[in-house]
Amino acid sequence: MSKISTSLRLLKTRWAALVHDVIMIPVAWMLAYWIRYKIGEYPDHLLERALDLLPLVVLIQGSTFIYFGLYRGIWRFASLPDLSRIVRAVVVSTAMAAVVIFFLTRLEYVPRSVFIIDAIVLILLLGGTRLSYRLIKDHSLAKEAAERVLVVGAGSAGEGLVRDLLRMRPAVYAPVAFVDDDPAKQGQEIHGIRVVSNIESISSVAGQWDADLIMLALPSASSDQMRRIVEICEMSGLPFRTLPKLQSLVSGKVSINEIREVQIEDLLGRAPVMLDRTEIVNRLKDKTVLVTGGGGSIGSELCRQISKVDIQRLIVLDQSEYNLYSIEKELQQSLPDLQLSCELGDVCDLAGLEYLFKTYQPDVVFHAAAYKHVPMLEDKIRVAVRNNVIGSWNVASLADKYNCSDFVMVSTDKAVNPGNIMGATKRVAEIICQTMDERSTTRFITTRFGNVLGSAGSVVPLFRKQIQKGGPVTVTDKNISRYFMTISEACRLILQTTVMGNGGEIFVLDMGEPVKVLYLAEQMIRLSGKIPGEDIKIEFTGLRPGEKLHEELFHSDEDLTDTSHEKVMLAMSRKTDWPTLVKSMGEFQQAVDEFNMKELKKLICKLVPEMTQQHVSKKVEGDNAA
């Protein structure tokens, strides 16, 4: 029944439009005569001839209008294509009428200019009525419970956003004004919406225009600019939304569907990293690539970026069944032609690893598998060594044995002057790569960086959960700071290091300035629409076992130098001789098998002398005694 009623309404609408146009034909025809004679009375014999020819003109023009499909469109959504169709229909119909009348009357008592004037008037009448109807309807619908929107940014993104807002039906948002810092844009109008002031005036403009919501159309804004704008928006007391960063708008177009809440990554991320993509493609093209820990935060993003290169096969290894399943489904859906092998396994399972290397013969290995939770690993030294040290040794040894061209290990800033078990085990893994490189044809490269925003186990997901529960948000110390970067940026720089250096290097990724975790917590609370300390409490819990107040990206003894990429630096760390490393690996394995925590502690301190006795959790002694 609903389909029938809809069809009936549409039929009535089309008949109404046809009746309107048929009425406009004689109006235009008679106006053409009137205008021809300078808007005055014209001779009776001309009026008589005009009325005689009117039925013919109505028949010809009305039939042409139907032929050109003037009644397929809906007046409510009249647009440029409809106007173009009207112009074509009027021009053709007027020309046909002129030809027919010429053959019938030889244009006796019919001024030739009447046809030109008739066409112009008829276009104005048909198009003007439709446009007026749409404007009236748009204006009335905009008043129906639509949120009044202040748009920040009058560039191409702002223009596209407002265009989408005005097209939405029903009208959910009604743009009322722009603000933009470009003086040349102020005072101009975009789709009828005026650029009224600069960004500093957001609060006053929002009040003046009675705005309900602020939308940020600044996809190319830097994080510093975003922080400034967000602070100004917060002062207005209004909710605000944003378009994602420019690099996330893959299509290059903006849409209301892209609007989302401002995220902490928008405030702490940096400008997009420019890669030497040609070199990366050449390095990985037609290669078989293995990613260990490929279901984790870093590993899965590496898989996404590597899969966009024309590689021969991607092998994803992970010990988490769910993580492996998730990345497998995602890659299969986004890249159905990708040669993909997902292997459920453990880097500590040497036999399983050997079978994997023998089966697939990988050319390039990205080693991202690791345990990384600092407080948890402090009293779990055995599993930390087993996974981060012995697991890395297994993968690196097999990469050497099966003649892989490149081995890239993902390390951490916590490996510098390690104050915890996790950092110390990652430093041992770095030593493995450096020492292995000296005797292998495989290039062993290490990349070192700080905290990754939104990665599993990081503070950002923890703070989000605490805020959703109404607090409190827990910060260990009011002065604690960390380096942060986005997952995508970290992985882009990891890929960049594959085309840099000759092997044995530790590449340190430029993390920018460290950020206070307290600032991070306060900003996340504000972005949720709450006030720190009032709506959501912040509690200081004290530093956890193995946790440092400030992290470092390189050791004082490391010779840090620039590289060909502005975001990547080179740290030349001390090396260990091969016999000592082999002997240590055997001792690590024996201590792991015997659950000898005290020996594991000694072995770590031997290879990493900067990891002093006081850095190791006191609980290790108790665990060993037990």
User: What is the set of active-site residues?
Assistant: 414
Give residue 430's identity as a one-letter amino acid code. Answer: E
Helix (H) or strand (E) holding 51: helix 44-67
Give CA separation, 135 vs 14, 474, 577, in Å: 19, 53, 80
Cβ partners under 8 Å of residue 474, min gap 6? 462, 466, 538, 539, 540, 541
Question: Among candidates 205, 78, 64, which has minimal Cα distance to 148?
Answer: 205
Give CA separation, 92 vs 63, 67, 108, 229, in Å: 11, 11, 22, 55
Question: Among candidates 307, 317, 325, 369, which has minimal Cα distance to 343?
Answer: 317
- CA-to-CA distance for 154 and 180, rounded, in angstroms? 6
CB atoms within 10 A of CB 345: 16
For the four alpha carbons of 129, 131, 134 and 136, in that order, the dihedral sign comes to negative
- CA-to-CA distance for 241 and 217, rounded, in angstroms? 9
Question: Among candidates 391, 456, 467, which has minimal Cα distance to 425?
Answer: 391
CA atoms within 13 A on the CB side of 288: 15
- C-alpha distance across the termini of the chain, in Å: 78
Give CA separation, 337 vs 226, 310, 341, 366, in Å: 39, 11, 12, 22
Q: By the 8 A CB rule, do 369 and 299 touch?
A: yes
How many residues appear in the chain?
626
Q: Which residues pair with 412 in a beta bridge?
A: 449
